[in-house]
Amino acid sequence: MRSMEGSQIADKVDLPLLDRSYRDPRGVLSTLLSVVTGAATVIACIPLFSVLIMLFWRGGAKLSWQLFVELPPTAFEEGGGFGNAIVGTLVMVGLAALISVPFGIFAAVFLAEFGPDSKLAAGAHFCAKTLTGLPSILAGVFAYAAVVMVTGTYSAPAGGVALALLMLPTVLLTAQEAMKMVPVRMKEAAVGMGCTRSQVIWKVVLPTALPGILTGVMLAVARASGETAPLLFTALFSNYWLVQDGHLGLMEPTASLAVLIYNFSGMPFENQIEMAWAAALVLVLLVLVINIIGQLFSRQRV
């Protein structure tokens, strides 16, 4: 029966029409567009490889232990390093995380658990979305107006505030998404055992959503580590260690890897330019490692 039907259909269909032919303009167009999009995809990968190769070639050549423990060189000085910039980046990103992570998670708890349908939650969600589009330089302008102009000095906390403003929306929105993914029956079971809503959140929702939340935090930290614009006129730059002569100079201009790259890339000295490449390599490796750690967390989630 079936084979008969098949042959009947085959009789009615004009089989040559179904053949792929390069004399047919439709087939040619199809192949052409496939080639164009494929080529576009491959071309788009070139910059990444070019950047990575240049980083390892020019930055890797300069890489040595000395870079991590010495201070930046002055104009005609040879050698030197960017130890203080690495410390500065870590301190400022740490400060930013101290501000933005609790802030973001608390707000996310409200958005995901206590008032998901409230007007406040909708407003906060909209504001967080808006903040994701905030140009990083404007975070710097804000921190300049709110911290530098008030305290009267460029400082690490000012840089931290600027970075925190950029990290907050990422932390908040990913934490909210992660908490939404926690199965309702787990929360119901906890309520059934006599937990208050807060206990449900602390003992069930947050531990379950932790991998997702950590992924968001890591993404935010990775992004903040590479940011330059918000630090340019909040933390400025410094040629000295954060701890100088035994006292901690938090309220003084602070060096960072990103600003070091920017400053040194415009200098006419070969030593500084090589150092900018080495610093770029260190910065990219740092950012990639943090990203990969974040990815590992998210893989745990399932």
User: CB-wise, 196 or 248, nearer to other proteins?
Assistant: 196
Q: How far is the CB of 84 from other proteins (least distance, A)?
A: 17
Check binding of 90 to other proteins (CB under 8 A): no
User: CB-wise, 58 or 301, nearer to other proteins?
Assistant: 58
- Residues numbered 235-254 forming contacts with other proteins, rule: CB under 8 A: 236
CA angle at residue 254 from 248 to 287, to 5 degrees? 115
How far is 248 from 251, CA to CA, in rounded Å?
A: 8
Q: Yes or no: say if 178 and 184 are a contact pair by the CB < 8 Å rule.
A: no
Q: Which of 193, 267, 285, 296 binds other proteins (CB under 8 A)?
A: 193
Q: What length is written for the chain?
A: 302
Q: Taking contact as CB under 8 A, which single stretch among the options 77-85, 177-185, 187-195, 204-212 is the one that binds other proteins?
A: 187-195
DSSP state, residue 181? T
How far is 128 from 100, CA to CA, in rounded Å?
A: 12
Check binding of 98 to other proteins (CB under 8 A): no
Q: Which of 62, 276, 278, 297 binds other proteins (CB under 8 A)?
A: 276
What does the block give as tokens for 201?
A: 């959140």
Check binding of 33 to other proteins (CB under 8 A): yes
Q: Yes or no: say if 213 and 205 are a contact pair by the CB < 8 Å rule.
A: no
What does the block give as tokens for 301?
A: 């989630």
Check binding of 205 to other proteins (CB under 8 A): no
How far is 256 from 283, CA to CA, in rounded Å?
A: 10
Check binding of 61 to other proteins (CB under 8 A): no
How far is 172 from 170, CA to CA, in rounded Å?
A: 6
Q: Return the biggest CA–CA distance within the chain.
A: 95
Residue 97: alpha-carbon gap to chain centroid: 13
- Residues numbered 122-161 forming contacts with other proteins, rule: CB under 8 A: 123-124, 127-138, 140-142, 144-146, 149
Nearest in space to 226 (alpha carbons), one of 143, 290, 272, 168? 290
Residue with tokens 């490692």: 289
Check binding of 106 to other proteins (CB under 8 A): yes
Q: Yes or no: say if 82 and 281 are a contact pair by the CB < 8 Å rule.
A: no
Check binding of 284 to other proteins (CB under 8 A): yes
User: CB-wise, 180 or 197, nearer to other proteins?
Assistant: 197
User: CB-wise, 225 or 238, nearer to other proteins?
Assistant: 225
Q: Taking contact as CB under 8 A, which single stretch among the options 50-58, 74-82, 179-187, 210-218 is the one that binds other proteins?
A: 50-58
Check binding of 185 to other proteins (CB under 8 A): no
Q: How far is the CB of 89 from other proteins (least distance, A)?
A: 11
Q: Taking contact as CB under 8 A, which single stretch among the options 3-11, 74-82, 238-246, 275-283 is the one that binds other proteins?
A: 275-283
- Residues numbered 254-273 forming contacts with other proteins, rule: CB under 8 A: 258, 261-262, 265-266, 273
How far is 84 from 239, CA to CA, in rounded Å?
A: 8
Check binding of 201 to other proteins (CB under 8 A): yes
